[in-house]
């Protein structure tokens, strides 16, 4: 079982967090896909939002799908991500691939991978500024605000610096 047969990703996340004794709360809100709008509704800072990008890293014999998580107020540097994983280039996955790998619509992808072919990496800046992170939990109308250290302990992402350097 890949974990995606049950496409209720929201419930799977709740189960994982409850089983892991995580400190979190669920917020139900209007379905908005934009980071800025949803952080306002949640009452959280934009930088607490965990933005999830499904990417493909290729080249040099590498062919890897990656769930790359970064703070919502940052931009991804896909070249840095590819380089870290030993590939030559990284691109965003197609909507069909996103659906197959996450069972979520775009904008509702949580910072958890339930698919064995989807490697979870996260930019460390997301965890260094706030005690809690916020993310859409598999559904556009459900957000979870989660203790940062509980996220790191339960999801165990590989930490990779891949945000775009703001000085460029």
pTM, 2 dp: 0.92
Report pLDDT digits (tens) over 40-50: 899 999 999 99
pLDDT at residue 154 greater than cutoff 90: yes
Higher pLDDT, 2 or 26: 26
Domains of the chain: 9-159 (3.90.960.10)
Q: How confident is the model at residue 99 (pLDDT cuts 50, 70, 90)?
A: very high
Q: Residue 83 to residues 9, 37, 78, 88, 100: CA-CA distances in angstroms?
A: 30, 32, 9, 6, 25
Give the C-alpha separation, 162 to 86, whole Å: 13
What's the average model confidence in pLDDT over 94-100? 94
Q: Describe the chain by its helix, strand, coil percentages, rounded to 5.
A: 30, 30, 40
What per-residue confidence (pLDDT) applies to 37?
83
pLDDT tier, 1 (very low <50, low <70, confident <90, very high otherwise): very low
| 12: CB partners within 8 A, 6+ apart | 3, 6, 114, 138
pLDDT greater than 60 at residue 3: no
Mean pLDDT of 12-36: 91
Summarised one tens digit per residue, pLDDT across range 55-74 is 999 999 999 999 999 999 99
Average pLDDT, the chain: 93
Across residues 18-45, what is the average pLDDT?
90
Structure tokens at 104: 């979520």
């Amino acid at each position: 079982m890949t974990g995606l047969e049950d496409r209720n990703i929201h419930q799977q996340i709740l189960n994982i967090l409850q089983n892991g004794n995580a400190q979190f709360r669920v917020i139900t809100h209007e379905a908005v896909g934009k980071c800025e709008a949803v952080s306002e509704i949640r009452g959280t800072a934009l930088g607490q939002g965990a933005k999830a990008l499904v990417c493909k890293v290729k080249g040099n014999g590498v062919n890897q799908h990656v769930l790359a998580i970064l703070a919502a107020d940052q931009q991804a540097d896909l070249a840095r991500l590819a380089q870290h994983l030993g590939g030559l280039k990284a691109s965003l996955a197609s909507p069909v691939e996103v659906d197959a790998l996450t069972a979520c619509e775009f904008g509702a992808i949580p910072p958890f991978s339930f698919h064995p072919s989807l490697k979870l990496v996260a930019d460390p800046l997301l965890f260094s500024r706030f005690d809690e992170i916020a993310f859409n939990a598999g559904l556009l109308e459900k957000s979870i605000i989660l203790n940062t250290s509980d996220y790191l302990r339960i999801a165990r992402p590989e930490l990779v610096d891949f945000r775009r350097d703001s000085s460029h």
